[in-house]
Structure 1
Amino acid sequence: MNEVLFLPASEAAGMIRRREISSAELTEALFARIDAVGPALNAVVELRREEALRDAAAADRALARGRETGPLHGVPMTIKDAFDVAGSHTTWGDPASAGFTAASDATVVRRLRGAGAIIAGKTNVAFMLGDFAQTANELYGVTNNPWDTARTPGGSGGGSAAALAAGLTFLEYGTDLVGSIRIPAAFCGVYGLRPSTGIVPLGGFSPPGVPPGPDEAAYMTSAGPLARSAGDLRTALGVTAGPDGQAARACSWTLPPSRHTRTAGFRVGFVLDHPRAPVSAEVAGPLSDLVDALARTGATLVEGWPDGVDPVREAESFGFHVGLFLASQGPGGEFAPFPAIVEQQNRRTAARAAWNAHFGDVDVFLCPVTFTPAFPHDPRPFEQRVIVTPEGERPYGDLPFWISHASLPGLPAVAAPIGRTPGGLPVGVQVIGPLHEDDTAITFAELLADVTGGPGRPPI
């Protein structure tokens, strides 16, 4: 049964539809796996055991009666503890919110249920989602990486990626402001999608007791899936994206098809290193091997940054916008002077225009997710933390450099596993796609599995 627990969600759904396994059996097996392995990882921090088994039994009855089923029918999954799930706690890792129980589902949760998914539990986060590289809080504790429990699974959604990699869930849904989907996916060897900004509604994603922020500030964060296959990213995005509320009355949404369906058809831009955030030798090797392998498939490779993109300036602009976003989300936030805001908004729109023009010449753009694989836990204050690489110590705050280039212009980006370091830790690549053409990035990540072998299975 453990082998089944490592299948992609779409394959598990197919087994349920073909009556090869029941949703109840699969859900019970998942809880048994969580009971056995969960304590070593501390990834799933709240279980919905009774509710999930009840929902699984209902899914089996619906199937027996011949009712129409969704693409995730009967598949148990978990949700990042930042989304509301009716009847479960939403804490954001804050002890002050330990008693808060959500009265209704977040939009993405409601839509996942509508596609047939069974919500089995919630996964750990960094305190108030405030750490891009580690997942820890005083309420639930520290989450460990299943490839090496002495190391971080990334943040702020390290619980999501660790649970997926270890066979504790079939699918996850998270959020990405400063790489909180992509960094954990890379550190744990799974797939993670930061969708095009604004296509997945953020209803039900806010700290307990805090009203949702203004929609105008949501240009910096995206909600998106993590999965064990790129195809599952497509399925999850397909059932969760699209306008919500009043906007749904005026607009509809469909996922445009990929530009190509074979690796040889793609024009691939790429940059594998930069002096501002040089990749360690552990990461450089698998990235270089990937580009060589793509050349052998017949893909057209175009090295270099897009015309008009200054990666250092835009990484700095990304930091400014993150600060502005955070200031807009809470009372008493300190805003920058208006001229500085205008200047940085102009930089952001210029970056988007430069990337949009570049995607007239290439179909996807490859770059690192991070300059290092997962590193040992470091509980010290931010300003004291460093990341040790074979080439020496690096500032902790340098880690988001590579994820910033999709985030600033709001582009879709997939973190995809491509291999492992000599020490056996996962290495990921970032597949950035054209704005609102998320399936082009997803499809290319899907094709990469044929080139690299896809995700592995951790030793835990």
Structure 2
Amino acid sequence: MRLPPARPLRRIAVWRDDARCPVGREVRDALDVAVGLLSDDGVEVDEARPTGVSLDIADEVARRLLAGAVADRSSPLGAEFSGQSHEEWMRAHVLRSRMAAAWRRFFQDYDAVLLPVSPTTAIPHDARSFDERHILVDGVERAYWDQIVWACLTGIVHLPSTVVPVRLDQRGLPVGISITGGFAQDLTTLALAERLVGLVGSLGRPEV
């Protein structure tokens, strides 16, 4: 497959937060930094999301599709749908196709969209079983699955994403944001990432 050339970076969108998977303050701050730098550099940035796409629906579709791919019904990944019928799985697949079409329409107006990578910054390693794990977002305990809800939004429809660190959190660790483009627009996300890295400058090396 030969990728199309990068699109001119004239207009991009940002989807900062969502009630389905609220993001922490430091993640929102990172998106604000990226929006500010790109706006000052002449890129039009709008608050926008595709009509017909919601984080709620994308999350359920991701869980249903994953459940169909996991042979072990004891696995917590998509466990609540492990007993679904093939018809139910196909309905999820149809919804995925509709969301892909909505994203295609969206990228007729926008060259890329900025998104959270995860609702929180880097978490401590947790060696417990999945069903015992959780994450903290601004001090509030949340489901471990919430780490991948934002990634599933675009991952289930096969959109390319490039993650760029744009600031440091209070621990001195980098906080990244996701730059997502239309299908096969990998070179566009990379071009925008390169531009943003140049605007951010060096964040230094985290202490270990």
TM-score, normalised via structure 1 length: 0.41
Cα distance between partner residues in 1 of 2:22 and 2:66 = 22
Closer/same/farther in 2, CA of residues 395 and 435 from structure 1, 3 Å limit: same
2:106: which partner in 1? 358
Closer/same/farther in 2, CA of residues 283 and 363 from structure 1, 3 Å limit: same
Residue of structure 2 aligned with 1:305, choices 49, 57, 72: 49
1:272: which partner in 2? 16
Q: Does 1:385 align with 2:129?
A: no
Residues 270-313 of structure 1: per-residue CA shift (max 9 Å, x gap):
11111111111122212212212221111111212111112211
Please say if residues 327 and 335 of structure 1, whose CA atoms lie closer than 8 Å, have aligned partners that are also in contact.
Answer: no
Cα distance between partner residues in 1 of 2:52 and 2:99 = 7
1:413: which partner in 2? 161
Alignment of 1:84-233 (within 5 A): none
Q: Does the residue aligned with 2:188 lie in a helix, a strand or coil?
A: helix
Count, aligned residues: 199
Q: Does 1:436 align with 2:184?
A: yes
TM-score, normalised via structure 2 length: 0.89
Q: Does the residue aligned with 1:327 lie in a helix, a strand or coil?
A: coil
Please say if residues 30 and 177 of structure 2, whose CA atoms lie closer than 8 Å, have aligned partners that are also in contact.
Answer: no
Please say if residues 417 and 454 of structure 1, whose CA atoms lie closer than 8 Å, have aligned partners that are also in contact.
Answer: no
Structure 1 residue 455, shift from structure 2 partner: 5.4
Q: Does 1:374 align with 2:122?
A: yes
1:175: which partner in 2? none
Q: Does the residue aligned with 2:13 lie in a helix, a strand or coil?
A: strand
Q: Does the residue aligned with 1:458 lie in a helix, a strand or coil?
A: coil
Closer/same/farther in 2, CA of residues 391 and 428 from structure 1, 3 Å limit: same
Larger radius of gyration: 1
Cα distance between partner residues in 2 of 1:452 and 1:355 = 28
Q: Does 1:319 align with 2:63?
A: yes
Q: Does the residue aligned with 2:17 lie in a helix, a strand or coil?
A: coil
2:149: which partner in 1? 401
Cα distance between partner residues in 2 of 1:316 and 1:386 = 19
Letter in 2 for 1:319: R
Unaligned runs of 5+ in 1: 1-252, 329-333
Cα distance between partner residues in 2 of 1:415 and 1:438 = 12
Structure 1 residue 345, shift from structure 2 partner: 1.0
Structure 1 residue 453, shift from structure 2 partner: 1.6
1:341: which partner in 2? 89
Q: Runs (4+) of structure 1 moved beyond 4 Å? A: none
Cα distance between partner residues in 2 of 1:454 and 1:350 = 40
Closer/same/farther in 2, CA of residues 338 and 390 from structure 1, 3 Å limit: closer
Structure 1 residue 454, shift from structure 2 partner: 5.0
Q: Does the residue aligned with 1:319 lie in a helix, a strand or coil?
A: helix
CA RMSD of aligned residues (A): 1.8
Q: Does the residue aligned with 1:366 lie in a helix, a strand or coil?
A: strand
Cα distance between partner residues in 1 of 2:7 and 2:103 = 17
Cα distance between partner residues in 2 of 1:311 and 1:454 = 33
Unaligned runs of 5+ in 2: 73-81
